[in-house]
A and B are shown apart, each in its own frame.
Chain A
Amino acid sequence: MRNPFLDFRSVPIRKKEIPLDRIVRAKQAIMDRIIEGYLALVEEEVKGLVWLVGQSHEVRTYNAALRSIQGLQYDQDDVEELCAELDSAKKVPYLISGPAGIYLSALINQAREERILLRLQDFERTFHFLGYRLPQGKTLILRGNVGDFIGASLAGGRLVVEGSAGNWCGAGMTGGEILVTGLTGQKTGEWMRGGRIQVDGRIWGVGQNRYGGEIYHRGRPIAPLGAVDQSQSEDDDGPG
Chain B
Amino acid sequence: MALDETLREVWPRVRKKHLFPELPYPLCAEGEKRVGLDIKEKAISISREFVEGMCQELVEGEVVEGLLDHAVSHYLCCPWNLSTHLRLYGEAKKVLRDKEMAKKATDYFMDVVADTHCVSQKETPLPRIYRHLRRGVLDEAVHALYERIWGVDLGVEGHEEISRKLSRLPYLDRSRWGDSMKRFAKAIHPLLQEERDQGGLKRPGPMGGHRMRQYSKEEIERGFKDLASDSATPSEFKEIVRDFEDDILEANLSEDGSMGLGPGRSLDADLLYYMKLAENWMLPIRKMPTKKSGSLYPHHHEPWEVGKPYQDIDPWTSFGKIMPGITQMWRRLEGDIFGQWEGIPDCVVMIDSSGSMTDPRQSLSYAVLGAACACDAYLRNGAQVAVYNFSDAWSGGRQMLPYSRQRREIYRNLCHYFGGGTSLMVEEIETLHEGKVPDLFLITDMQITNLETLIQYFNQCKNRITAVHIGDNRHVATFRQSMALRKNVEAYAVEKKDDIPRIVLGKVRDYLYRETL
Knowing A77-B164, A84-B183, A122-B182, say if A20 contacts B150 (CB, 8 Å): yes
- What residues of chain B lie closer than 8 Å to A17, measured between beta carbons? 120
Encode contact with A along B161-190: 1 for CB under 8 Å, 0 otherwise.
000110111111100000100110010000
Stretch from A21-29, A51-59, A102-110, A194-202 forming part of the interface with B: A21-29
Residue from B94, B120, B173 in contact with A16 in the complex, judged by beta carbons closer than 8 Å: B120
B216 to A: closest C-beta gap in Å: 32
Docked-complex contact B120 and A18, CB < 8 angstroms: yes
- What residues of chain B lie closer than 8 Å to A21, measured between beta carbons? 120, 172
Docked-complex contact B165 and A77, CB < 8 angstroms: yes
Knowing A24-B170, A88-B179, say if A18 contacts B150 (CB, 8 Å): yes
The answer, yes or no, to whether B151 is at the interface (CB within 8 Å) is yes
- What residues of chain A lie closer than 8 Å to B295, measured between beta carbons? none
Encode contact with B along A7-20: 1 for CB under 8 Å, 0 otherwise.
00000000011111
- What residues of chain B lie closer than 8 Å to A90, measured between beta carbons? 179
Docked-complex contact B116 and A18, CB < 8 angstroms: yes
- What residues of chain B lie closer than 8 Å to A27, measured between beta carbons? 168
The answer, yes or no, to whether A119 is at the interface (CB within 8 Å) is yes
Docked-complex contact A20 and B183, CB < 8 angstroms: no
Knowing A18-B151, A119-B186, say if A23 contacts B167 (CB, 8 Å): yes
| Distance of A16 Cα from B150 Cα, bound (Å) | 11
Knowing A24-B170, A122-B95, A122-B182, say if A19 contacts B150 (CB, 8 Å): yes
- What residues of chain B lie closer than 8 Å to A18, measured between beta carbons? 116, 119-120, 149-151
User: Smallest CB-CB separation from B112: which chain A residue?
Assistant: A20
| Distance of A122 Cα from B119 Cα, bound (Å) | 32
Chain B stretch 106-148: residues in CB contact (< 8 A) with chain A: 116, 119-121, 148
Chain B stretch 268-311: residues in CB contact (< 8 A) with chain A: none
- What residues of chain B lie closer than 8 Å to A84, measured between beta carbons? 179, 183
User: Smallest CB-CB separation from B173: which chain A residue?
Assistant: A24
| Distance of A88 Cα from B94 Cα, bound (Å) | 14
- What residues of chain A lie closer than 8 Å to B120, measured between beta carbons? 16-18, 20-21
Inter-chain contact count A-B, CB under 8 Å? 47
Docked-complex contact A20 and B121, CB < 8 angstroms: no
A95 to B: closest C-beta gap in Å: 16
A10 to B: closest C-beta gap in Å: 19
Docked-complex contact B168 and A81, CB < 8 angstroms: yes
- What residues of chain B lie closer than 8 Å to A28, measured between beta carbons? 170
Chain A stretch 110-160: residues in CB contact (< 8 A) with chain B: 119, 122
A221 to B: closest C-beta gap in Å: 35
- What residues of chain B lie closer than 8 Å to A19, measured between beta carbons? 148-151, 167
Docked-complex contact A122 and B94, CB < 8 angstroms: yes
Docked-complex contact A23 and B149, CB < 8 angstroms: yes
User: Smallest CB-CB separation from B189: which chain A residue?
Assistant: A119
Residue from B94, B172, B182 in contact with A20 in the complex, judged by beta carbons closer than 8 Å: B172
Q: Assign chain B's interface to a size class.
A: 20 to 34
- What residues of chain A lie closer than 8 Å to B169, measured between beta carbons? 24
Knowing A16-B121, A18-B151, say if A24 contacts B168 (CB, 8 Å): yes
Which one of A20, A24, A84 has the highest number of Cβ atoms from chain B below 10 Å of its Cβ?
A20
- What residues of chain A lie closer than 8 Å to B121, measured between beta carbons? 16
Q: Assign chain A's interface to a size class.
A: 10 to 19
User: At the interface, is chain A mostly helix, strand, loop or mixed?
Assistant: helix
Docked-complex contact B95 and A20, CB < 8 angstroms: no
| Distance of A178 Cα from B362 Cα, bound (Å) | 42
| Distance of A27 Cα from B150 Cα, bound (Å) | 16
Encode contact with B along A87-104: 1 for CB under 8 Å, 0 otherwise.
010100000000000000
Docked-complex contact A122 and B186, CB < 8 angstroms: yes
Which one of A21, A24, A84 has the highest number of Cβ atoms from chain B below 10 Å of its Cβ?
A24
- What residues of chain A lie closer than 8 Å to B172, measured between beta carbons? 20-21
| Distance of A84 Cα from B149 Cα, bound (Å) | 22
User: Smallest CB-CB separation from B171: which chain A residue?
Assistant: A20
User: Smallest CB-CB separation from B168: which chain A residue?
Assistant: A27
| Distance of A18 Cα from B123 Cα, bound (Å) | 12
Which one of A17, A21, A122 has the highest number of Cβ atoms from chain B below 10 Å of its Cβ?
A122
- What residues of chain A lie closer than 8 Å to B171, measured between beta carbons? 20
- What residues of chain A lie closer than 8 Å to B182, measured between beta carbons? 122
Encode contact with A along B79-94: 1 for CB under 8 Å, 0 otherwise.
0000000000000001
Which one of B148, B149, B171 has the highest number of Cβ atoms from chain A below 10 Å of its Cβ?
B149
- What residues of chain A lie closer than 8 Å to B95, measured between beta carbons? 122
- What residues of chain B lie closer than 8 Å to A16, measured between beta carbons? 120-121
| Distance of A27 Cα from B170 Cα, bound (Å) | 10
| Distance of A16 Cα from B151 Cα, bound (Å) | 12
| Distance of A212 Cα from B164 Cα, bound (Å) | 42
- What residues of chain B lie closer than 8 Å to A24, measured between beta carbons? 168-170, 173
| Distance of A81 Cα from B168 Cα, bound (Å) | 10
User: Smallest CB-CB separation from B164: which chain A residue?
Assistant: A77
Chain A stretch 22-75: residues in CB contact (< 8 A) with chain B: 23-24, 27-28
Encode contact with B along A203-223: 1 for CB under 8 Å, 0 otherwise.
000000000000000000000
| Distance of A21 Cα from B173 Cα, bound (Å) | 10
A145 to B: closest C-beta gap in Å: 16
Docked-complex contact B150 and A23, CB < 8 angstroms: no
Docked-complex contact B179 and A77, CB < 8 angstroms: no
| Distance of A16 Cα from B116 Cα, bound (Å) | 12
| Distance of A27 Cα from B165 Cα, bound (Å) | 11
| Distance of A21 Cα from B148 Cα, bound (Å) | 11
| Distance of A88 Cα from B179 Cα, bound (Å) | 9
| Distance of A239 Cα from B173 Cα, bound (Å) | 40
Encode contact with A along B442-461: 1 for CB under 8 Å, 0 otherwise.
00000000000000000000
A-B contacts besides A19-B150, A20-B171, A21-B172, 18 pairs, CB < 8 Å: A16-B121, A18-B150, A19-B167, A20-B120, A20-B167, A20-B172, A23-B149, A23-B167, A23-B168, A24-B169, A24-B173, A27-B168, A77-B165, A77-B168, A90-B179, A119-B186, A122-B94, A122-B95
The 7 closest A-B pairs by CB, nearest first: A20-B149, A19-B151, A24-B170, A18-B120, A27-B168, A122-B95, A23-B167
Instruction: Sample 7 A-B pairs with CB under 8 A, ordered by A number.
Output: A16-B121, A18-B116, A18-B151, A20-B171, A23-B167, A81-B168, A84-B179
